[in-house]
Amino acid sequence: MSGDAQARPAGQTPAPLLALRQVSKSFGAVEALVAVDLEVHAHEVVALVGDNGAGKSTLAKVVAGVLTPDAGLVELDGETVQVPTPSAAHALGIATVFQDLALCENLDVTANLFLGRERMAGGLLAEGEMETQTRATLDALNARIPSVRTPLAQLSAGQRQSVAIARTLIGSPRLVVLDEPTAALSVVQTAEVLMHIERLRDLGLGVVLISHNMNDVRAVADRIVVLRHGRNNGTFDAASASYESIIAAITGASHAGARG
């Protein structure tokens, strides 16, 4: 991203890290996404909000390579890319944490972070190297997990979310998509996860935060994008937009394109 910005003339706005242009996706007669636009820059948290069925998770799956859009473009740093599979997304620097976390309770923290990406040395697992990187990654997030050898089954829900977020950093991503990361967490656990999101932004990543919790969204987001019935229905500056204006866009009381 920095190299792209340096290559541009002075004063010209750099291309977004991620841009969705007129993306549509249908399932039979159901239009899940209709000509949706979304932009995310490096060092930015963009919250994606909307009622149930608004298309938030479908959009996340398009970015993650789980679903292929019927129409529209996906761009990274201004270049059109194809994201046909989750592996392709990972190769492009896109990491996603869905609500099920995709972690293994019988494995310890280190094994979960490197699951499917294990480091080898001389034909054996490089356990020391992986443990060292796991500790460094958790420290970078300020995650409160005492031992990287702790089995996941012994961790709290909040600590498991910390592990899932830390796992995204193993692949050195540029963009992280988080689908309802604070759902069913306590107040203390939620605060820690929100701190992780802020750390991802501080590390220079672009973050897409999908959430129903407006307090969480307003606490960490730079911009808020509202989806309603699979369509864009407003983009707001998180620092200045009123709660009422965002809710009006979610419920349909205000028209698409409203800005707070």
In the chain, the percentage of residues whose pLDDT exceeds 90 is 82
**CATH number, domain containing residue 93:** 3.40.50.300
The model carries a pTM of 0.88
Query: Mean pLDDT, to the nearest integer, of 163-176?
Result: 92
Tens of pLDDT, residues 245-254: 999 999 998 7
Strand 30-40 to 94-97 pairing: unpaired
| Residue range 86-111, pLDDT digits in tens | 999 999 999 999 988 889 999 999 99
Res. 10 pLDDT band, cuts 50 70 90? low
Among 158, 170, 176, 185, residue whose Cα is nearest residue 111: 170
In a domain, 140, yes or no: no
Residue-wise pLDDT for 183-208, tens only, equals: 889 999 999 999 999 999 999 999 99
Nearest to 185 by CA among 154, 153, 159: 159
Is 133 domain-assigned? no
Q: Is residue 74 part of a domain?
A: yes
Could you tell me which residues are beta bridge partners of residue 108?
A: 151
- What 3 state SS string does 100-146 have? CCCCCCCCEHHHHHCCCCCCEECCEECHHHHHHHHHHHHHHCCCCCC
Residue 132 lies inside a defined structural domain of this protein: no
Residue 11: pLDDT above 80?
A: no
DSSP 15: P
Non-local (6+) Cβ contacts of 82 within 8 A are 74, 88
**C-alpha–C-alpha distance, residues 171 and 140, integer Å:** 14
**Per the structure block, which two tokens stand in for 35?**
């000509």
How would you classify the pairing of strands 30-40 and 18-27?
A: antiparallel
Question: Is 170 within the bounds of a domain?
Answer: yes
Whether residue 232 lies inside any domain: the answer is: yes
Q: Total structural domains in the chain? A: 1
Q: What is the 8-class DSSP label of residue 156?
A: -
pLDDT of the residue at 171? 80
Q: Note whether residue 117 is domain-resident.
A: no
- Cβ contact 110:134 at 8 Å: yes
* C-alpha to C-alpha distance for 208 and 30, rounded to whole angstroms: 24
Measured CA to CA in angstroms, residue 224 lies from 39, 228, 250 at distances of 11, 13, 11
**Residue 5 resides in a domain:** no
Domain span at residue 176 reads: 18-104+155-251
